[in-house]
Chain A
Amino acid sequence: MQIKANTHLIEVFRTEAGAVYQCEASNNFILEFADRSTAFKPGNFIDFSKRLFAINLAEMLCSPAKHADLAIIMPPYCETCFLLTITEVISLQRILGGAKTILHLNSILRTSQLQFA
């Protein structure tokens, strides 16, 4: 994938289904998932993960309605929408959840470095 040629990219978190990078040049997060990569400004990245974690998995599983087994995330800051199956929702949640944990740790590390420097 040509995305890796970018030297400003730091891998934040990866699973077999995809990854989150942060670009130190543009200060964006980049999500690589299902053969597509999407750049998010930090605020939008948080918003996107909120939308993702707001998906009601139980409802998707149980609802008899047509297409209930598909979740749609259509954020105003993305050109295209995310159409996700239950499995995809779960793997995406794992990627973003993991990424957010690493970002949080990085934040703690940086704060303590600043304090003890």
Chain B
Amino acid sequence: MKDLLRLRTSLSEEIETLLNEQIKVEAYSSSLYLAMSSWCNRNGYDNSAGYLERQSGEEREHMLKLFRYINDLGGKAISPEVTNIPQEFDSFKGIFELALQQEIQVTSNFNRISDRCQKANDYVTLQFLQWFLKEQIEEEYVARRILELFDIIGEEGTGRWQIDKQIPKVSYGDEGGED
């Protein structure tokens, strides 16, 4: 008896569903960062607005990476419906606290999906997910470093203006952070 489901795709129904759910989460991140960008723009944090807009674009790329993977393997990638994007935020700092929370959530999602892949013996997808796990180290690092700026520089006086100037410069990698 032929294995018709396997002929269609190497993705199990469970893994395909998990990946489609993650597509939705990445799309949500993308929209959330865009809303944050708009808030920053309205409140005079131009550099952060630019940074968050780029971040939004990156999240969309993450979404597409998952999207293409599912389709490439014969599965059915689902264009996500994204709802409930907050448009207002409590404060400049609050935005970056929320961003870190979102990244932590994403990391834990990828850990969970990886765990399911291992249990389902889907080493192909597990290998594919390595890229995202590595990316999450960077995403969380940058989000934490940005939050630290609020403590290091302080929000008083021209503090926020300074923080806004530093935010786009935060990066993970060689230069070790000082500037």
- Residues on A facing B (Cβ under 8 Å): 10, 22, 24, 27-29, 41-43, 45-47, 103, 106-107, 110
The residue among B4, B6, B75 with the most chain A CB atoms within 10 A of its own CB is B4
B76 at the interface (CB under 8 A from A): yes
B152 at the interface (CB under 8 A from A): no
B42 at the interface (CB under 8 A from A): no
B13 at the interface (CB under 8 A from A): yes
Give the CA-CA distance A46 to B4 in the complex, in Å: 11
From 73 to 88 in chain B, residues with beta carbon under 8 angstroms from any chain A beta carbon are 75-76
Interface contact B5-A110, CB-CB below 8 Å: no
Interface contact B6-A43, CB-CB below 8 Å: no
Q: Count chain B residues whose beta carbon lies closer than 8 angstroms to a beta carbon of A.
A: 12
Indicate which residue in A27, A45, A47 contacts B7 across the interface (CB closer than 8 Å): A27
Asked if A110 meets B76 with Cβ closer than 8 Å, knowing A42-B8, A43-B8, A46-B13, the reply is: no
Indicate which residue in A24, A28, A43, A107 contacts B76 across the interface (CB closer than 8 Å): A43
Interface contact B3-A110, CB-CB below 8 Å: yes
Taking the closest CB of chain A, its distance from the CB of B168, in whole angstroms, is 43
Interface contact A46-B5, CB-CB below 8 Å: yes
Give the CA-CA distance A29 to B7 in the complex, in Å: 13
Give the CA-CA distance A42 to B5 in the complex, in Å: 6
Asked if A106 meets B1 with Cβ closer than 8 Å, knowing A43-B76, A46-B13, the reply is: yes
